[in-house]
Structure 1
Amino acid sequence: MSGSMLKDRVILVTGAGGGLGSAVAKICAAEGATVVLLGKTIPRLEKVYDAIIAASGPQPAIYPLDLAGAGEDHYRDLAATIEREFGALHGLVHCAAELGVLGPLNDIAGGVWQRLLHVNLTAPFLLTRELLPLISKSSAPGIVFVTDSVARAGKAYWGAYGVAKSGLEGFARILADELESRKVQVHVYAPGPMQSPLRRRAYPAEDPAGLPLPEVQAEQIARLLSPIETASSANFG
């Protein structure tokens, strides 16, 4: 990577304190982007912030927000803050996810079902909707939805998480079709197996040493956000 692929661009990363989210944030900053770190755990966001500063990246911004409890007003406030502070938003990466407990559908409590659909599907919709006017005004903008290749296959026991990821892909496809004339590129990216907290929860007996680090996938996501890539067709890989 060039080290300047995302120079002067503003990128919002959700789940920025997590495995993939933190890697995406650091890579984007290393490529010159000003990164807005969104997540629910402030110490984790501060750790990513410190790593970006230590690597001489552009000063990021921390925006604490728990997607499980956030409502429409919270997303409107976020959009207004980004526009006021930065004047533009060139990229949005939806890395935040909540797995829940894998098991049969008939064992899922209603409250758990609603929470997982909210965090993994409704929250990305609301966030995207509120940020879309600002994104649409920016040059060569891109939106990346991180999906899951296992959950999207309709595999048993993946429950509300799997349903939400399937819905997220459907939402992204509709959004891409609607935004074609506005030149906002929408990407759905399935990173596959990698070392991450979510992967460890899903496969507790697996040896993570044989899996690639999230940085490998983070580089691919950063490329999707570059002005060159966002000028191409939408990607649903």
Structure 2
Amino acid sequence: MSSPDLSGRLYVVTGASRGIGWNAAVALGAAGAHVVAIARTVGALEELDDAIRAKGGSATLVPLDLKDLDAIDRLGLSIYERWGKLDGLLGNAGQLGLITPLGHLDPKDWDNVFTVNVTANWRLIRSLDPLLQRSDAGRALFLTSSVAESCRPFWGAYSASKAALEALVRTYAAEVATTRVRANLLDPGRMRTQMRAKAAPGEDAATVPHPSAVAPDIVRMLAPDFADNGTRFAFPTGTVTRFLD
């Protein structure tokens, strides 16, 4: 898969300090984009910056905890003041929470999962949509999971949060259908990430795809010539589900 030319374009990537977010940020930078990389860990962001620069790209590092919802509003203002527009958003950051029966979940754990997986993404849409509208091809892509539909036992908080995220993004896609903005979902499936290791502690990591495997599809779906809107792409199967047709 050849990478599109993203020279002169600006992308926000959340959860950029490791895993899928890291690899997507590097791939976007290698394609010529300037990456606004968001994560909680400063040291990991600095290592990401080195990796992006090694590929000829550039980045702005934003240490930010997405549970600080007001900071997301400040992010939008800062991007507007510096660049005046935004070409793409990758809503990658997610929180697994505890794998436990619903009745055993602490309310604080439930709230943390929904804050990161749902509310923060809504706040990102709220803050950044005006900037995406100022682009000639604003693109928003959010990572989901098969558990949004399978509703696996003991995965209640994560499963419900991803189902809510899908409803959120599908609604946003319908709202921007007559604009130049496009909003879509991507299910990466099993990936060799810290979240996966936590979810499946006995799994042989060598049998799970590396996060770099999905990066080309992320770049493809964030590129200006990707015209689909309101779709859900399942990376493991290559299946595309269209919600707005």
Give RMSD over aligned pairs.
1.3
Query: How many angstroms does 1:155 deviate by?
Result: 1.2
Match of 1:177 in 2: 174
Deviations 1:166-209 (A, max 9, x none): 00000011111111111211111000111111100000000010
The amino acid of 2:170's aligned partner reads R
TM-score (ref. length: structure 2): 0.91
> Does the 8 Å CA contact 2:87/2:139 hold for their aligned counterparts?
yes
Alignment of 1:5-16 (within 5 A): 5-16=5-16
What is the distance in 1 between the residues matched to 2:122 and 2:41? 21
Match of 1:62 in 2: 61
Runs of at least 4 residues off by over 4 Å:
1-4
- Confirm whether residue 40 of structure 1 aligns to residue 40 of structure 2: yes
SS state of the match for residue 181, structure 1?
Answer: coil
What is the distance in 2 between the residues matched to 1:48 and 1:12? 14
More strand by share: 2
Query: How many angstroms does 1:160 deviate by?
Result: 1.0
More helix by share: 1
Alignment of 1:69-80 (within 5 A): 70-72=68-70, 74-80=71-77
Query: How many angstroms does 1:3 deviate by?
Result: 5.0
Task: Give aligned-pair identity as a percent.
Answer: 36
- Confirm whether residue 188 of structure 1 aligns to residue 185 of structure 2: yes
Alignment of 1:1-237 (within 5 A): 1-2=1-2, 4-57=4-57, 59-68=58-67, 70-72=68-70, 74-229=71-226, 231-237=227-233
> Does the 8 Å CA contact 2:136/2:180 hold for their aligned counterparts?
no
The amino acid of 1:31's aligned partner reads A
Structure 1 gaps, min length 5: none
Q: Give the number of equivalent residue pairs.
A: 233
The amino acid of 1:54's aligned partner reads A
The amino acid of 1:210's aligned partner reads T
Structure 2 gaps, min length 5: 234-245
What is the distance in 2 between the residues matched to 1:87 and 1:219? 27
TM-score (ref. length: structure 1): 0.94
